[in-house]
Every structure is written in structure tokens, then in C-alpha cells.
Structure 1
């Protein structure tokens, strides 16, 4: 009886002749990096920065000029208003009729501060004693008004008028130029706080 020896069916693996995948190379130490910027880009950025600076500077200057112009216009308007207040007062104070003295007293106190109105109340009897014997009448025409100063809204103004008057001494009448010195206070509601020159309106009496 013959015994068969079984054949080996497995085979030894063939040696791996393929090369393993290459590993990534590590960056070289000490490698320097350089950045290249075009000269045109630098110039464009510089021009843009300059343009922005010019625009901002122009805007600031323009706004400042507008503010100054607005302030100047407001100051000029206030001065004109003060001169008109002073002129209106001087015209009223120069319009006199001895037959209606009380009306004149009312005009003397019109748009004045309480302190100035009180002064006119105190001097009313003396003024009446001047007007009645003289039989004084007068009217006025404005010539000009000039602001001498403005201290914090307090205006010192000279008002020039031509006054035409008649009285017992000159019944045919006469003309004279009278100057009123009027103080107008903006903070007091454009009130007249002081006045000089009334004696000129009364012929220096």
C-alpha cells in the first residue's frame, strides 16, 4: 500500500520590489521669502491717500468758512436791528406837540428798560415846564445811524436826525441836526437802556 505525500499548495510571497511612496520633503531651513510690490501700486496708494487728505481738508475748511460767514451775517443783522431800534426811538422822542405832552411822555418810555422809564417819570414835570411855555412842536427825519461799539450785545449807537421845530420864540420854524446817543441791549429784548441828546431835540434847553 503506497502512502502519497500531500503536495504543499501554498507559495512563498514574492519580495515587494515597488518603492514606498515618497514622503514630502521638509522645507529647507533658513529659506528667505521675498515680496515683490509693483511701483505702480505704491504710487496709486500714495495718490489715493493724498486725494483723501485734500478732500478732508477742503471739507473742514469749507465748513469753517460757512460757519464764519453765518456768524458774520448774524452779527450784521443784529447790528442793523439795533440801529433800527435806536432810530425808531429817536424819531419818537423828537416828535413833540406841546398840546399833547402826555403822548410824548409815552413815546419817551416806549421800548425802554424799567430803570430808564422810571427816570423819565421822575423828570416829566421838568420837561412839561419846558414845553408848555415854549409851545414847542417838532418832527424829525432820519439821516443815519452809526454803531460805535458792541460789547456782548450792548450796542452804543449814534442816531442823526434833522429836526424841524416851531416854538414861541421862532414861530416860523427852523431846522437843526440832532444827535441821539442810544444804548440798545439785545439780552434785554432789544430794549433801550440809556439815551442822550434829548436836550438837542429841545433846542438845547
Structure 2
């Protein structure tokens, strides 16, 4: 009866079970490949890992740009340093020129004398000097006047040049050279001499003159 009604296991049933087992194994393999990170196609086949391709020309261009940027930065730093150095040099030159100008103006004024107007000369002696130095000239003005009046002294000065001898912390030592033409009762036709002033100019004191040397060279010998 079993053979008639097919109660035994047939070849067809065996094939179905085998196909089912094969299908289950394929699904497991597919899952494993997906988990492992391999590229999987719809048929269950694994591909090689993906890679990114960069053109050589892109690398070269990037390198050139980086080099240009570095070069520009270097030039900017050098330019800033040079600009600062030039600014410092220009500032020092301007300050030295100012000291020479202040000293020259003073020397010319101090060497311009007229015995008929000694007050103006005394004012020139004290012009742009510190209070301490001005006080010294106030104290000596009577003696100076006693020298000028009897001789009827007059003099005029023309600058030759001025030289900064030294500078320290804004204090300038300046030599000023003048041509001085003077007249007196002894030399009515006039005499020309070269006079050298040694002046100290202090930038920190608003360019005031703190010391005067050489003034006696512009005055008559009594």
C-alpha cells in the first residue's frame, strides 16, 4: 500500500530539501560578506575593495599653490621687516636734521649782535634754552653789556654747516660752524672770522638747548 500511495520518501522530496539547504547556505554567505565589508553584488559575488584615484596633475598643482603661498608669506615677513628698518632709519635721520636745525638757528641768533639793542641779543641768547640755562644768561648779561657798549660791537653770522657729533637717548651734541663778520671802533671796516658753537639739544625736552659752548668766539676780547 505504501508503494501505491507513495507513503515512502521520494526522489523529488529529497531534491527539494537539498535545494532548500543550498539556498540557506547562500544567504549565510551573503550575510558574512556584507558584514566583512566586501562589496557584494546581487548574485552574491564579492568585489575588490574600492579605491580613490587622484590625478598626478592635481597633486602637482596643489604643490605649486602651496609653494606660492609659502613664498608670499615669506616675502610679506621680509617686507614688513625691511619697512620697519627703513622707518627707523628715516626717523633717526629726521631727528638728527631737527637737532642740526635747532642748533644752527640758535648759533646764528646768538652771533647777531648790535650794541644799540642789547636786549634783543639777550633774548636771542635765551631763546629755546632750558630755564636753567636762561637763568645763567640773565646773571651774566650786565657783564656782557659792559663789553659790547664801549666797543660799539656789531656782528652778523652766516651758517656754514652743522654736524651731529653724538646722540644718546635723544640728547644730541651738535657743532655749528659760522662765518661771522664783526665791526667795532677798533675794526670799523669789519673782520670776518669762523666761529664754532658746541650745543647740546635735548629731544626729550621739546628740543630745548641745555648747554652752549663757543659763545666767546663770537664776542670781542676785552
Q: 2:204 aligns with which of 184, 187, 192?
A: 187
Count of equivalent residues: 192
Match of 1:22 in 2: 27
Q: Which runs of 4+ in 1 moved over 6 A?
A: 14-18, 31-36
Q: 1:106 aligns with which of 89, 113, 123?
A: 123
How far is the alpha carbon of 1:97 from its aligned partner?
0.7
Q: Unpaired runs of 5+ in structure 2?
A: 1-12, 38-47
Write the distance in 1 (CA, Å) between the matches of 2:71 and 2:161.
Answer: 47
How far is the alpha carbon of 1:110 from its aligned partner?
0.5
Write the distance in 1 (CA, Å) between the matches of 2:151 and 2:219.
Answer: 10
5 Å-filtered alignment, 1:1-205, equals: 19=23, 22-23=27-28, 24-27=30-33, 39-203=56-220
Write the distance in 2 (CA, Å) between the matches of 1:177 and 1:43.
Answer: 74
Distance 1:40 1:26, change over 3 A: farther
Distance 1:193 1:172, change over 3 A: same
How far is the alpha carbon of 1:195 from its aligned partner?
0.9
Q: Secondary structure at the match of 2:32?
A: coil
How far is the alpha carbon of 1:192 from its aligned partner?
0.7
CA contact 2:147–2:220 (8 Å) conserved in 1: no
How far is the alpha carbon of 1:43 from its aligned partner?
3.6
Write the distance in 2 (CA, Å) between the matches of 1:74 and 1:131.
Answer: 42
How far is the alpha carbon of 1:145 from its aligned partner?
0.8
* Deviation sequence 1:154-205 (CA, Å, 0-9, x none): 1111111110100121111111111111111111001011111111101456
Write the distance in 1 (CA, Å) between the matches of 2:151 and 2:198.
Answer: 25
Write the distance in 1 (CA, Å) between the matches of 2:170 and 2:114.
Answer: 34
How far is the alpha carbon of 1:47 from its aligned partner?
2.6
RMSD: 2.8
TM-score (norm 2): 0.76
Match of 1:5 in 2: none
Q: Unpaired runs of 5+ in structure 1?
A: 1-13
Which has more helix, going by share of residues?
A: 2
TM-score (norm 1): 0.82
Q: 1 or 2 for the larger relative contact order (CA 8 Å, sep ≥6)?
A: 1
